[in-house]
Amino acid sequence: MSKSTVRYILRRLVISLITLFVILVVLFCMVRFLPGSPINNEHLSDAQRAAIEASYGLNLPLPQQFVKYMSGMLTGDFGVSMNLYRDMQVSSLVATRAPISFFLGLSACILGTLVGILLGVVAALKKNTIWDTLATVLSVIGVSIPSFVFAMLILMIFGTNLHILPTMYSSSQPIYSAIMPIIALSMSVIANVARFTRTEMISVLNSDYIMLAKAKGLSRKDIILKHALRNTLIPIVTILGPILVNLMTGTMVVEKICSVPGLGLLLINSIQASDYNVILACSFLYAAMYIIMMLVIDVSYGIIDPRIRLGKDE
């Protein structure tokens, strides 16, 4: 990695930190303005409620609360759950759930990208044949049907009717019970990537340098693997960013349907319960992940496409 690349990454990291801070401020305010309160037990008297609020520091003015939250955060203390999991550390809550969500999202993304590229390449190479049509139909279906519908369909067919897969996530069989949500999540990735790969591959195959590769007398296999594929994949990286974000938002619903105890489910439940610190930590984690993803993708451009060298190259 060249010096300029390192400098570029450092600059991006600084900008990312500033962005994250702004996001945190906005999130912090928005969460406080949500209707409802974490202390919502109807049996509590006003005095009791005020006492509990005071114990969590909710009676302080907003700026002061923020400073307190920030200073805690910098030492790794994300506060405690105020409602859902009474007084449990948010960091440990997130730490037990995040790996499950990451595993699901990443697997779905990898599976979806691989299958999508394969489908797209096949469609492009067999352009205007039955294989092409089949791949196109598959991807249209994948794009137009939301992941939660797939989740329910798979749940119904493989879970309820055929009893092949568990209908509920069980932590004793983490991989076995992850199959269903992963497949459901990957459908839209497959569809998007396949469609994109097909178009890209067709245009690459019509390019002059592929003609030159043919004129060199290379075999079809070499032309596709060594010359066409890499040039096809470059633009694919561009759409992987938005796809990853899609997966993150998709996980919430799919996690709910397949009852996966992941971050998405935690976020939904915490919003329903107005559990301030949990909402903040989860959404902050999503924002951070998004920003890091974008950085990783921008850096990886430079690695796969030599025309893009980050920063100023002498």
Shortest distance in whole angstroms from residue 212 CB to another protein? 5
| Site residues for another protein per CB under 8 A | 207-209, 211-220, 222, 226-227, 230-231, 234, 304-307
**Residue (41 or 207) nearer to another protein, CB:** 207
Q: Which is nearer to another protein, 86 or 127 (CB)?
A: 127
Query: How large is the C-alpha radius of gyration of the chain?
Result: 24
Token pair in block for residue 248 = 């993150």
Q: Are 313 and 2 in contact (CB under 8 A)?
A: yes
CB of 127 to another protein, least distance (A): 9
* Least distance from another protein to the Cβ atom of residue 203, Å: 12
CB nearer another protein, residue 52 or residue 210: 210
Amino acid symbol at 131: W
CA distance 166 to 59: 46
Q: What amino acid is encoded at 62 in this protein?
A: L
Please state, as a whole number, how many other Cβ atoms lie within 10 Å of the Cβ of residue 246: 18
Q: Which two tokens stand for residue 3?
A: 């010096």
Residue 112 CB, nearest approach to another protein (Å): 24
Nearer to another protein, 108 or 224 (CB): 224
Nearer to another protein, 133 or 207 (CB): 207
**Matching residue, tokens 């890209």:** 200
Give the residue from 150, 214, 230, 136 showing the smallest Cα distance to 186. Answer: 150
Other beta carbons within 10 angstroms of residue 128's beta carbon come to: 8
CB of 293 to another protein, least distance (A): 23
